[in-house]
Amino acid sequence: MATLATFFKRSDAVAVTMGRPETIRAQSDPFMLRALPNDDIYFYAKKIDNSRVVRQADPAAGSECWSAVGAAGILLLLGASIIAPHAGAVLEGYKLEALRQERVTLINERRDLDVHEAELLSPERLNALATKHGLTSPVGDQVMHFDVPTATDASFASNKVPARNQSVR
């Protein structure tokens, strides 16, 4: 929809160009820009000096301010009490996952140590070490068998602990 200003500009251009369209086009500058919207409006800003105006104190403003601070504090505490358990659970989840990773690492390390221990205790290696250090299997007359003591035999030391009510000498 055309505005009234655009309508008048268009009708003037049509009226002028009806008679001689070539002369109007020849006279207009092809590099001239269109006018900006509201270019003909001028705004005047008047400087106002309020330096002599004194602000009057409002006695209710202080209590309103402290009420707002208290309400903000209560909202902050409420928000923190809502968020804190979730944040704690997230942190504990990270710790739990780190402990699981450490458990996997320790299981793998124990598996490696078990393999290494099996290599060290293998009979082939023990025989190789025995021959290297000059150890041989004992001959039949080098082996001594001891008799197993019975409970009534008093030839061996007793491992009995004295009773608590008796004094140790």
pLDDT in tens, 59-78: 888 899 999 999 999 999 99
pTM, to two decimals: 0.40
pLDDT in tens, 4-24: 555 555 555 555 555 554 444
Lowest mean pLDDT among 30-39, 59-68, 112-121, 145-154: 145-154
Place of tokens 């160009």: 17
Alpha helices in 35-163 (DSSP H): 59-120, 123-132
pLDDT in tens, 87-99: 999 999 999 999 9
pLDDT at 149 over 70: no
pLDDT at 105 over 90: yes
Q: Which residues contact 10 (CB under 8 A, 6 or more apart)?
A: 2
Residue 77 token pair: 């505490």
How many separate helices (H) and strands (E) can be counted in the chain?
4, 0
